[in-house]
Amino acid sequence: AATGHMAPWPAFGAWAAVGAALAVMVRSHLADLDALARWIRSLASGDESGPPPGREDTTLAETVAAVGGLRRIWQQKSAELAESARRNESLLDNLPDPLLLLDPARRVVRANQAAARLFGRDLAGRDMAAFLRDPGVLDITEAVLAGQGPSRECEFTQMVPLERVFLARAERLQGQPADGGTAILTLHDLTTVKRMERMRADFVANASHELRTPLAALSGFIETLQGPARDDEEAREKFLGIMGQQAGRMSRLVADLLSLSRIELNEHTQPGERVDLGRLVATAAEALKPLAQAKGMTIRLAVAPGLAAVMAQPDELAQLFQNLLDNAVKYGRDDTEVEVTAAAVTAAELPRAAGTPLRSDPVVRVSIRDRGEGIAKEHLPRLTERFYRVDTARSRKMGGTGLGLAIVKHIVNRHRGLLTIDSTVGEGTTFTVWLPAAPG
């Protein structure tokens, strides 16, 4: 007979079918999740060769797309970081000052190219004290690494391979703990600055001495004329003559000091006036003829026809050749010849001098050769220094201030030229000025 209750078997079958379907779906999702996990692990390990898991119609498609988007962003950021690191490395290596990055144990983490040139290659991992043993530098480095202030500095001298003076500055990196951490040691080369300071001090001392000597002589003669020689006409004439010489010497010295100062002030400004160099050299030679004739000397001038003009400051260039010709006449032997030649040459004929600014044709060369005693080779590099004299007594006797060749050097520098000096003891000296020809 029929009852009001549902038979249990059909219901059980329905639940079983649902369970089976759920199982299939769960296994499919688990498989997709497993594939997604494997794909993410491969991306994390750097393997991007495999395709993304799942199909576009799966429920994981959005997750895969999101992970793919994150991967692209990560790749872009990684490329940007790599490029930034490359630029920073290039910047570090192109810094002119040696730089060392040190860990808390004072070992080198990174050294730039300037440091490698100074201390040698393969610095990474080495204790700084193995190649930089100056006690002052070690002290400031250890103090910064120990957290005793954010930075410290000191000067030290590196003797090998050449004597060089450095300002060492140890500084803790920003973001490091106050009690120490990584530090940067920078070495700034002060060699040129120190040399210039010494030259400036020597210049002031020499200038003071050169001015004090004639002043002392003048004071002494004035006292003598006011006292014992007041009524001695012969002594008065003699002393007045000497006083005139000393006043002239002092006047020449002051004039040369002012000229040198003015030329140095304008040295970085290249002159822009077109000048006929042949005519200027001829004028300078003509002005020195009376002095040469007084010694029985002749000035032989040979200027190439059609000599190229130069861009110059005429008064400075005239002073340059007047100083060189004056030296040639003063130091040449009596009854000899001073040879002056001017011609256009090619840059290939330039002497092999480091740092010459002359790179293109044509170049104008002016040589002034005397037949004097010549100059020993050890003196040649210093001839253009202020107040440097090979023979101090002889130079002063001839009225030299010790600044003539220094003025020549700075005028040549201002005109972007080159000065060379060749000399043979017993035969004479040749000064050669090389100047760039004016365009056109």
CA angle 71, 75, 78 (to 5 degrees): 135
- Pairing type for strands 108-111 and 151-158 reads unpaired
CA distances (Å), 252 to each of 122, 386, 404, in order? 58, 15, 10
Burial of residue 407 (CB within 10 Å: 0-12, 13-18, 19+) is buried
Burial code (b: 16+ CB inside 10 Å, e: under 16) for 363-381 equals bbbbbbbbbbbbbeeeeee
pLDDT of the residue at 2: 47
Give 214-278 as a DSSP string.
Answer: HHHHHHHHHHHHHTTTTT-HHHHHHHHHHHHHHHHHHHHHHHHHHHHHHHHHTTTS---EEE-HH
Q: In this structure, which amino acid lies at residue 35?
A: A
pTM across the whole model: 0.59
pLDDT, tens digit only, all 440 positions of the chain: 444 555 555 665 666 666 666 665 566 666 666 776 776 777 676 666 566 665 555 566 677 677 777 777 877 877 777 777 777 777 777 888 999 999 989 999 989 999 998 888 888 899 999 999 899 999 999 999 888 888 999 999 988 777 889 999 999 887 666 555 789 999 999 988 888 888 777 777 777 777 777 788 888 888 888 887 777 888 888 888 888 888 887 888 888 888 888 888 888 888 889 999 999 999 999 999 999 999 999 999 999 998 989 999 999 999 999 999 999 999 999 999 999 999 988 877 777 755 566 666 789 999 999 999 999 999 998 888 888 878 766 666 666 778 889 999 999 999 989 999 999 999 999 999 999 998 87
Q: In this structure, which amino acid lies at residue 123?
A: L
pLDDT of the residue at 333: 93
Give 300-350 as a DSSP string.
Answer: EEEE-TTPPPEEE-HHHHHHHHHHHHHHHHHHBPTT-EEEEEEEEE-GGGS
Are 342 and 317 in contact by the 8 Å Cβ rule? The answer is: no
Find the length of the chain.
440
How far does Cα 62 stand from its chain's mean position?
60
CA–CA separation, 19 and 26 (whole Å): 10
pLDDT of the residue at 54: 58
- Helix 314-331 and helix 277-287: axis angle, to 10°? 40
